[in-house]
């Protein structure tokens, strides 16, 4: 039985109940994003959700004991065979209410695990972001931002069912003209599909700022609207879900791999961000009296990220494939640099006006868990402000040729080791989270090292 302490202390928000009534909600999708940012959950009746606000609700803790393909990894202290993958208590975030684009009379609400004392379980990336945002608020700061996703859309081979990855590789994409970013012709060619995506986003109240083609086979980019960090991250997770679902309904596959093909640029998930005061009106990154329109807080914030990014990069390069994207002259940063409107650096500063001054964090790949991307940049940025870390010189030319900055790890194994040994990582995210994340990545590395790849077969099968 769920422990009721959290539920009994929860005042049911009348605005939530009004949304349920006004939208004639009969069912809920209860969403729990896992360690990799993959949405898990259930469809639950309205009555059970309402009842759970008084009596509590629980969910198997297995979500933090298995990988993205449901293989149990290691001996997690939270979820393991010896404990029997028992139920753990959930908190439902009523303010995350949004409508489903798929089901009628159905709403989506986010939830996450909590401890016996009602505190948030910090193995959760979403809970990590909640903590980081609260820490910012204590400093008089409201972080706002948005995600700019790059992704590919591919045709399936044969039937509408996918029996394995081989069915979606080496296929011609929807975007038949190669290397044609920002092409209106190619955009219009796919107008029916794009219309369906935009309508689904609108139904779920997810606002975008732009949508266009990118360089590469079947490549597109969509920029989501600026919001507070929690809403922006929830929108980003939901955006990926909608794009994948609409493509699936059309016999297509949406791909958010960091590097699906070595012939084309990889896919990023750039995070635009700035800090506001508690009124939400003052941009704390802007200073009109500075030569670059940058406040000291802004400079310290960037410096904090750059100071420690190489140690923690696996949080935003979480997969074996992530590192195929991190190459010189690849549109993905390879070192810890910054510049003014410079797309070859890790951080691109836009400094045109009070309202638009912000940074674009260009390091994360489209495969990363955005809750960790937001939490990482905010935690490191705030550390930079607190410690008044001095910002090093900006890069005016090609960031890939700048040899005075630390390089980001260029392979999965080194990146895991860097995080495991990182003192700053344990200070900011807690030892429990770092140990759990490292355990999950070593599991991924072990699976890869045991697998015989197609490249090896093609390279060695006949000739050695």
The burial class, CB within 10 Å (0-12 / 13-18 / 19+), for 413 is: middle
- Residue numbers in the chain where pLDDT is lower than 50: 1-9, 159-179
Q: How many helices (H) and strands (E) does the chain have?
A: 14, 14
CB count within 10 Å of CB 70 equals 10
pLDDT recorded at residue 158: 56
Say if residues 278 and 139 touch (Cβ distance below 8 Å): no
Give 210-253 as a 3 state SS string: EEEECCCCCEEEEEECCEEHHHHHHHHHHHHHHHHHHHHHCCEE
The answer for residues whose C-beta is within 8 angstroms of residue 341's C-beta and 6 or more apart is 348, 349, 350
pLDDT recorded at residue 206: 97
pLDDT recorded at residue 168: 41
CB count within 10 Å of CB 180 equals 17
CB count within 10 Å of CB 343 equals 12
d(CA 356, CA 361): 15
Pick the CATH number of 5-121 from 2.170.8.10, 2.60.120.280, 3.40.1280.10, 3.10.20.70: 3.10.20.70
So where are the chain's domains? Answer: 5-121, 138-459
The residue among 309, 332, 293 whose CA lies nearest residue 389 is: 309
Q: Which secondary structure element, helix H or strand E, spans residue 415, and what is its range?
A: helix 412-420
The residue among 129, 126, 114, 104 whose CA lies nearest residue 31 is: 126
3-class DSSP assignment, residue 282: coil
pLDDT recorded at residue 376: 98
- Name the region of 87 (left: φ>0; alpha: ψ -120 to 50; beta: rest): beta
pLDDT recorded at residue 13: 82
d(CA 223, CA 272): 10
Find how far residue 294's CA is from the centre of its chain. 27
The burial class, CB within 10 Å (0-12 / 13-18 / 19+), for 308 is: buried
pLDDT recorded at residue 330: 82
pLDDT recorded at residue 12: 75
The CATH code that applies to domain 138-459 is 3.30.590.10
Tokens of 223: 């920029």
pLDDT recorded at residue 174: 45
User: How does DSSP assign 161-181, residue by residue?
Assistant: ---SGGGGSS--BS--SSS-T
Widest pairwise Cα distance in the chain: 71
Say if residues 365 and 267 touch (Cβ distance below 8 Å): yes
pLDDT recorded at residue 74: 78
CB count within 10 Å of CB 249 equals 13
Tokens of 155: 């045709």
Q: Which secondary structure element, helix H or strand E, spans residue 274, and what is its range?
A: strand 269-276
């Amino acid at each position: 039985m769920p422990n009721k302490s959290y539920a009994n202390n929860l005042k049911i928000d009348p605005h939530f109940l009004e949304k349920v009534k006004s939208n004639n909600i009969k069912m809920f999708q209860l969403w729990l994003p896992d360690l990799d940012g993959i949405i898990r959950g259930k469809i639950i009746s309205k009555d059970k959700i309402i009842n759970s606000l008084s009596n509590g609700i629980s969910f198997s803790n297995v979500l933090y004991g298995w990988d993205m393909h449901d293989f149990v990894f290691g001996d997690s202290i939270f979820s393991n065979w010896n404990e029997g993958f028992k139920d753990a208590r959930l908190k439902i975030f009523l303010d995350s209410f949004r409508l489903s684009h798929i089901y009628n009379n159905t709403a989506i609400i986010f939830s996450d695990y909590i401890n016996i004392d009602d505190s948030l379980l910090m193995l959760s990336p979403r809970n990590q972001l909640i903590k980081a945002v609260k820490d910012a608020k204590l400093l008089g700061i409201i972080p706002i931002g948005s995600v700019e996703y790059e992704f590919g859309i591919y045709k399936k081979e044969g039937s509408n069912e996918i029996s394995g990855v081989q069915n979606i590789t080496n296929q011609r994409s929807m975007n038949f003209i190669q290397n044609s970013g920002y092409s209106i012709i190619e955009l219009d060619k796919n107008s029916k599909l794009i219309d369906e995506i935009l309508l689904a986003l609108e139904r779920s109240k997810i606002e975008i700022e732009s949508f266009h083609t990118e360089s590469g086979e079947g490549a597109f980019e969509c920029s989501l609207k600026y919001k507070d960090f929690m809403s922006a991250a929830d929108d980003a997770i939901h955006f990926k879900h909608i794009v994948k679902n609409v493509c699936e309904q059309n016999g297509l596959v949406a791909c958010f791999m960091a590097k699906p093909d070595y012939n084309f640029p990889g896919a990023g998930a750039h995070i635009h961000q700035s800090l506001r005061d508690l009124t939400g009106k003052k941009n704390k990154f802007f200073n009109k009296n500075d030569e670059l329109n940058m406040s000291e807080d802004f400079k310290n914030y960037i410096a904090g990220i750059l100071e420690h990014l190489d140690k923690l990069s696996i949080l935003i390069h979480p997969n074996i494939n992530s590192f195929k994207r991190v190459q010189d002259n690849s549109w993905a940063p390879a070192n810890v640099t910054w510049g003014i409107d410079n797309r070859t650096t890790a951080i691109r500063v836009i400094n045109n006006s009070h309202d638009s001054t912000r940074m674009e964090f260009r390091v994360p790949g489209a495969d990363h868990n955005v809750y960790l991307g937001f939490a990482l940049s905010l935690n490191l940025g705030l550390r930079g402000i607190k410690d008044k870390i001095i910002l090093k010189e900006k890069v005016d030319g090609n960031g890939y040729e700048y040899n005075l900055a630390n390089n980001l790890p260029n392979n999965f194994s080194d990146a895991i080791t860097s995080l495991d040994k990182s003192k700053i990582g344990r200070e900011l995210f807690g030892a429990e989270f770092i140990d759990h994340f490292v355990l999950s990545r070593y599991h991924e590395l072990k699976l890869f090292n045991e697998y015989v790849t197609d490249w090896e077969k093609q390279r060695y099968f006949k000739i050695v």
